[in-house]
Amino acid sequence: MIKFFEILGRFIIKTIEEMGQLMLLVVNSFIWTFRPPLRIRAIFKQMEFVGVKSLFVVILTGAFTGAVMTIQIFYGFSMFGAESLVSPTLAIAMARELGPVLTALMVTGRAGSAIAAELGTMRVTEQIDALYVMAANPIKFLVVPRIIAGVFMLPILTVVANLMGVLGGYLVGVILLDINASIFIGNIVEFLNPSDIFNGLIKSAVFGFILTLIGCYKGFYTTGGAEGVGRATTESVVMASILILASDYIMTAIMF
């Protein structure tokens, strides 16, 4: 019994410590974002890494999700003859939830983990110490460009995922399931609210912040050599994914 409380206590202390460290990183990143000079070149490099290089997996994710959702929605709606509402339902689901969340989860797996591995390696090979020694703040040089890239690129990727979702849905719905093409498109235009898209993009910007922040955080505080880098990478994916899903619920409850 005492052992149980000991373990519980240690867990709570560790969690609080971690939260404190994370908050400190957030505050410092915020401060360093607004301290000139802005490192434009580094930001573009990270935008390419987080954004452009994730394009392919986001296209695939969007298209397949749209296609499979169309089949599932069609199955349900055709039971009471509402085939014409399949496409707006798909579009709204993509814009509000599936586009932002699935994009964020895919980019977490691809770029968030890579960020943790890269910064973790820099930590254990003393490259981060070297930055400090050369009076170059690692937060400014490493963390800020990545977070900025995440916040700006995730909404763009989400737009791509949404479009691909609708395209995938169109191919399945119109060609395989025989939904009338003009009804498919027309009902999306009629029922999809711009605010659905906009709120989804706000979400995705928050997700972009979370996944780059957690990647940086886990990498930055890596200890214990190559093994530690592996651990940081895994932990960053788990932690970022959980935070993305939890914050999605909170934002959805507030927004819609």
- Whichever of 130 and 189 has its CB closer to another protein, that residue is 130
- Whichever of 12 and 130 has its CB closer to another protein, that residue is 130
**Least distance from C-beta 128 to another protein, angstroms?**
9
195 in contact with another protein (CB under 8 A): no
Interface map 95-134 toward another protein (x if CB under 8 A)? -----------------------x--xx--xxx-xx-xxx
253 in contact with another protein (CB under 8 A): no
Q: What is the DSSP string of 198-212?
A: HHHHHHHHHHHHHHH
Interface map 135-174 toward another protein (x if CB under 8 A)? xxx-------------------------------------
Distances (CA, A) of 188 to 67, 96, 161, 184, 193: 15, 14, 16, 7, 9
**Least distance from C-beta 15 to another protein, angstroms?**
19
48 in contact with another protein (CB under 8 A): no
Cβ atoms of 107 and 173 closer than 8 Å: no
Spatial neighbors of 7 by CB under 8 A, at least 6 apart, are none
223 in contact with another protein (CB under 8 A): no
Measured distance CA(158)–CA(95) in Å, rounded? 8
Cβ atoms of 69 and 161 closer than 8 Å: no
Measured distance CA(130)–CA(35) in Å, rounded? 21
Cβ atoms of 58 and 157 closer than 8 Å: yes
193 in contact with another protein (CB under 8 A): no
**Least distance from C-beta 214 to another protein, angstroms?**
21
Residues that bind another protein (CB under 8 A): 118, 121-122, 125-127, 129-130, 132-137
